[in-house]
A and B are shown apart, each in its own frame.
Chain A
């Protein structure tokens, strides 16, 4: 089976008509649709699902009410019609499936599911398939019950882990879906329907043999057991329907409580943001005050050029004083030295004694030096006051008022930006919190606890009723056998029918478990084969299957790997799906929404190399974060038949364009 085209009109973000052609070449059967988050990848998957089955699924696989499927822009323009057309080929025929939803005439603005009417039509080659046969015709190729194996996203893949918990409620549901894809219902439905026929035949038999005197008692006993059995079956059905109702109520409450947990998280975040907001506002006030104080001294900055000039003058004057002092001291030292020489002391320079013939020359030198000393003037400046003034100027010039104000302004700007961000975050969080009644939330938690307890009681009643049912069935079987052994009864036509139906029932019932055993072995082998191709761990031996079709990884020592990473879970889930597809019916195209979120590059490469060979068409809805167009698709480049990108037109409208 292959999809040729999908045409959406006003479906979710796809306003007006958006058409997508699918690849038809067996060797280029991969189609990639790129799209950022919130642009419409899941809506594309939902368009296929709604087109085929009239259902679109949201979080936790809950059905999205139909009035949310209409594009909001189209609705605001008064266009209340949306539709999905799927052109596909299957079994040598071409089909055009059209599902439309339109606002009811008397409704002004549709806001509830009941405000829409839905119609579906299917054209097979040149003829129209009658309305009552449309569903059966679709189910021939892509039954809704097994759609989880070819229309799936990351959330669905995560569910397969629950199969490892044998007997879990969710695991049981998935197990049923798995058995549907494997064809087990052919035998289980056959068994149940033959039992229905047998029951009718037994009733007929009771009536017929009641007329035979020797069989009256047995006939009465059989009739009584049949009535009891019918009553127990009806009770069991009622209990199971109550159980389903309770489960669905609890799941709804779980969803609401989960939403509430988010409210609590938002409340905590809101408190912490408000505290930060208060601190920022306090600091901004303080900064304002500091800036005002500094502004009072701002006049000082006007004097800065003059102060710098004065500083230079003072440094120069200081230097002049230092130089003059140094010169005067030098004269003094020399006069002292020469005076010592003529006082018959050793020369201070060489240590020798100077002869008296040189004294006259030395006295001349002393006299010359004394003259210089007396004429040498040290500037009449107050070194102490110069130093004091210089220190004062340096202090003022070290950090100008303007620089200090600039530092404060930078902090002010940074805090103001943070303030705006916090303000925006708070507004978003408060929008989320708004309308949540905390008392109502507590009430829902109590209600959920009550339901869980009631479910436990109901489970017990169902178990008891099933035991009773098995016993009555066995009693009835015994009576039937007894009656069949009576020569008078054997002549009755109803007895022949009871006998034949009993044998058929036995054959169908016994074959169910045998089929399950052989299917499990085959799924295990096929999934292991896929796992070895997909996994990057060469050391693993393979996978091992349990009675619920849960798969465990077996390491090189033959032991189960208990802790599995999120990526390993996804690989195991994909291996199971592939194993089921190889064991079960033809699944045709596979559409995967954001499938690589938890996988590293090597695993992505393995999947991309493997899946195109195991499906008729592989449609991948990916975002930039999980697949880089230019590099990551190299392993599958030659298999890509079509590439599209989802472009945002407005926040409520997207379009799909050929890349």
Chain B
């Protein structure tokens, strides 16, 4: 089976779209967001992934303030 190929499809769709519609988002941040969602895809509760994503956003703003 080809889990990684599928993962690539999802990641590529996100990366290519972001390049077009929101080019200012750094790929590193986008990848972090993607990884969090991939790891929590089947979690019943979204609280943890929301917290992790918000932390990514805050850290990014902190670093670029």
By a beta-carbon cutoff of 8 Å, the part of chain A in contact with chain B is 135-136, 139, 143-145, 180, 182-187, 189-190, 192-194, 196-197, 200, 493, 496-497, 500-501, 503-504, 506-508, 510-511, 514-515, 518-519, 522, 581-588, 616
Contacts and interface: CB of A to CB of B under 8 A. Distances in A.
30 contacts: A136-B43, A143-B41, A144-B42, A180-B42, A182-B6, A183-B7, A183-B10, A183-B41, A185-B37, A186-B37, A186-B38, A187-B13, A189-B37, A189-B40, A190-B33, A190-B37, A190-B53, A193-B49, A493-B65, A496-B61, A501-B57, A504-B33, A507-B18, A508-B14, A511-B16, A583-B9, A585-B6, A586-B2, A587-B1, A616-B1
Interface string B15-48: 0111011101100011001101110111110100
Contacts of B29: 504
Contacts of A192: 46
A185 B41 contact: yes
Nearest to B36: A190
A500 B49 CA distance: 18
A193 B54 CA distance: 9
Nearest to B50: A193
B14 A497 contact: no
Contacts of B22: 503-504, 506-507
A522 B5 CA distance: 11
A187 B38 CA distance: 9
Given A187-B10, A187-B13, A585 B3 contact: yes
B29 to A, nearest CB: 8
Interface of B: 1-3, 6-7, 9-10, 13-14, 16-18, 20-22, 24-25, 29-30, 33-34, 36-38, 40-44, 46, 49-50, 53-54, 57-58, 60-61, 65
A500 B61 contact: yes
Contacts of B41: 143, 180, 183, 185-186, 189
B5 to A, nearest CB: 8
A582 B1 contact: yes
Contacts of A586: 1-3
Contacts, number: 125
A192 B16 CA distance: 20
Given A186-B37, A493-B65, A507-B25, A145 B13 contact: no
A435 B6 CA distance: 53
Contacts of A588: 1
B16 to A, nearest CB: 7
Main SS of the interface on chain A? helix
B49 A189 contact: yes
What 9 A-B pairs come out closest when comparing CB atoms?
Answer: A586-B1, A511-B17, A515-B13, A507-B18, A503-B22, A139-B42, A190-B37, A143-B42, A507-B22
A506 B22 CA distance: 7
A187 B37 contact: yes
Contact of B25 (A186, A504, A510, A522): A504
A503 B24 contact: yes
Which interface residue of A189, A493, A503 has the most chain B CB atoms within 10 A? A189
Nearest to A184: B10
A183 B2 contact: no
B41 to A, nearest CB: 5
Given A186-B10, A507-B25, A515-B10, 14 more contacts: A186-B34, A190-B53, A193-B37, A193-B50, A194-B33, A196-B50, A497-B58, A500-B60, A504-B25, A506-B21, A506-B22, A507-B21, A522-B9, A587-B1
Contacts of B53: 190, 193-194, 197
A503 B23 CA distance: 9
